[in-house]
Amino acid sequence: MIRATTGGVMRGYRKNLMSSFIASNKARETVLTQRNFNSYAEAPADAARAFRLRMSRLTVNSQHKINEDAYYKYQGAFSCLDSVSKLVDTQNGGTQLQTLKSTTQKMLNDPTGDARTQLAKVLDEMSQTIVQTMNQKYGDSFIFAGADGYNVPFEVKSENGVNRLYYRGVPVDAAEPNVMKDATGEKFVRVVNGQVDINDPYGDNLPAGTPVNYLKMDNLTIISKDEYDKLYAMPNVELDANGQCKRYSKVDGEFQAIPPMDPDNAPPEDTTIYYQRLQADGTSFDPPQFITTDQYNEEVDRHNEPAAVLMGIDSGAANPADPVIVEVDKDGVPTKNGGYYLLVDDKPQVISQEDYDTAKLNADKLDYMVNQEKRFVDIGLGFKENENGNLIESSGFNECLNGLTFLGYGMDEDGDPKNMYSIVQRLKEIAESVPDGQDWSDDTYNEFFGLVGKLEDAASNFKTEYTNMDAGTLKLKNNLDILEDSFYNLDEQTANLEDVNMVEAISSFIWAEYCYNAALKVGNSILSQSLMDYMS
């Protein structure tokens, strides 16, 4: 039999009261914090899972912000490109390029020159608008500056009164000069005192310190010896008994001989006179070949004034100072008895090694910035490196937008710029070059409209790149939606793990409070009153 003592009852009561108090406080804390646990020790497994979820949420949130910045940068780029597109659109009427095509012809031969002046102003304003638009910023960075977003990408510099466009300090029209090299493309033909030594074309035996110049191919045309001989040979035609060119006329598709020169028996004035061309041995071709008198005279003139051929020297000859023809192979590589000549439009053009290296370096810089330079950001595609420590490009997003991708850069095979600004500026220069009161020459007219055609090609390339950019924008938009869904999913998982069910928490708290209050009431019933209680 267990005897209940006052001390034992008191100890049991205090213990139960403290348990009720602790449970009540715990329930109250749960309601106030709205969390299932507040320390790792309370729920180690759930806390570890919650930590991983929160890290994932932070990563996704960071990727979302990066993705969002890239997306809005692309949106800004679209606005800029759309403005330029309206300037150079060739499909819709009313645009500047369309107006240029339709009105320029009337401006060309304006006797006062006012229209040409106005044309030059329109072209200049058009080019300046293009540059200003492509220099727009998104936030603190320039949209079309490639990987260097904190320095203005396009800059116009005046050089000898001519405006030249630079991209991040490099001239946009930079191109590797077309110079004569060996078959490997590694050795350059050396020009000394304006001449090529066919015995030592690459300057292997030149004294140290000899100035280095390379031969440019811009005004040289490769032609075979046979073609040259045929092109500039004296035409061989049939002669009559008097040693005069025997004349023919064409009647109903047949060639008929005309009697020798006789004022009383001359053919009608509008009759086309033909000569019969003969082979080298003096015999007729089969079938016979005939040329007009105009064609004959052109060939005679060409024979009398043949095109200039590139001349050089032979340091190994008995008289090394005597000029000799520089022969090349079909690819333009200097070779003795190569079988090909180089026709020269004007005097041969050369370029110093220093200028060549500078031009090539600038061309390489442009090519690198457009095709190689990248800036990848993590938008949730994995962002991983391969075994060599290089980023796997498919795991990141290249947010670089290079303005030259859209406007073009370098020079074409005709030596004309590919950049839209440069083409427009060149058109402006041509428009300003014709003196007032004078008509445009055929050459100037052809050059101008040839450049207008190239401007249309550049505009077409611009539209293509402009359209292709939509793929990048769509990718960013889709990925943005995916990241938002991922964040909401992670947020829901975290909430399910950490957050309490408030209905259950409040119910538990009310019950714990009830239990505690009940414990206090029971205490009043079992505790005996003291003398002080009676006296009060």
Higher pLDDT, 136 or 452: 136
Total H helices, total E strands in the chain: 12, 18
Task: Kindly state the tokens that stand for 66.
Answer: 């990066």
Above 80 in pLDDT, residue 80? yes
Nearest CA to 120 among 406, 355, 448? Answer: 448
Q: And the tokens for 341?
A: 């000549």
Among 86-100, 357-371, 378-392, the minimum mean pLDDT is found in 86-100
Is pLDDT larger for residue 287 or for residue 527? Answer: 287
**Measured distance CA(486)–CA(233) in Å, rounded:** 81
Which range among 31-35, 408-412, 506-510 shows the weakest confidence by mean pLDDT?
A: 31-35
Q: What is the mean pLDDT of residues 323-331?
A: 91
- The residue among 497 and 346 whose pLDDT is bigger is 346
pLDDT for position 37: 63
CA atoms of 504 and 509, how far apart (whole Å):
9
How many alpha carbons lie under 13 Å from residue 35 in its C-beta half-sphere? 13
Question: Which of 15-24, 49-58, 505-514 holds the top average pLDDT?
Answer: 49-58
pLDDT of residue 256: 87
pLDDT at 234 over 80: yes
Higher pLDDT among residues 234 and 98, named by residue: 234
Binned at pLDDT 50, 70 and 90, residue 225 comes out as: very high
Q: What mean pLDDT is predicted for residues 338-358?
A: 91
Determine the average pLDDT of the residues in 18-24. 74
Q: What percent of the chain has pLDDT over 70?
A: 82
| Of 144, 109, 15, 87, the residue nearest 423 (C-alpha) | 87
Question: Residues of 250-260 as b/e, b for ≥16 C-beta within 10 angstroms?
Answer: eeeeeeeebee
pLDDT band at 353 (very low <50, low <70, confident <90, very high): very high
Q: What is the mean pLDDT of residues 342-355?
A: 90
Q: For residue 384, what is the DSSP state? A: -
Residue 102: per-residue pLDDT: 55
Count the helix, strand and coil residues of the chain and give each as a percent rounded to the nearest 5. Answer: 50, 15, 35
Cα–Cα distance for residue pair 457/217, rounded to 1 Å:
25
What separation, in Å, do the N-terminal and C-terminal C-alpha atoms of the chain show? Answer: 38
Q: Is 93 helix (H, G, I), strand (E, B) or coil?
A: coil
Structure confidence at residue 99 (pLDDT): 56
What is the pLDDT, as a whole number, of residue 136? Answer: 94
Helix or strand run (H / E) with residue 411: none
- Supply the pLDDT for residue 301: 94
Residue of higher predicted confidence among 394 and 264: 394
Q: From 182, 176, 184, 188, select the one nearest 212 (Cα to Cα).
A: 188
Q: Which residue has the higher pLDDT, 299 or 53?
A: 299
Q: At residue 347, does pLDDT exceed 90? A: no
**What angle do the packed helices 96-108 and 114-134 form, to 10 degrees?**
160
pLDDT of residue 154 exceeding 80: yes
| Predicted structure pTM score | 0.75
pLDDT for 398 beyond 80? yes
Instruction: Please report the pLDDT score of residue 209 as a whole number.
Output: 85
- Digit-coded pLDDT (tens) for 180-196: 999 888 899 999 888 89
Predicted confidence (pLDDT) at residue 47 exceeds the cutoff of 80: no
Q: What is the spatial distance between Cα 100 and Cα 177, in angstroms, rounded to a whole number? A: 32
Residue 56 — very low, low, confident or very high, per pLDDT cuts 50/70/90?
confident
Average pLDDT over residues 340-356: 91
pLDDT higher than threshold 80 for residue 162: yes
Q: Is the pLDDT of residue 528 over 80?
A: no
Residue 420 banded pLDDT, cuts 50, 70, 90: very high
Mean pLDDT across the chain: 83
Region 193-213: mean pLDDT is 89
pLDDT band at 417 (very low <50, low <70, confident <90, very high): very high
User: How far is the C-alpha of 450 from the C-alpha of 454, rounded, in Å?
Assistant: 6
Tens-digit pLDDT profile for residues 440-489: 777 887 888 888 889 888 988 998 898 888 888 888 899 888 888 888 88
Q: Can you tell me whether residue 507 is helix, strand or coil?
A: helix
CA distance 149 to 140: 8
Helical residues (DSSP H) of 89-140, grouped into ranges? 96-108, 114-134
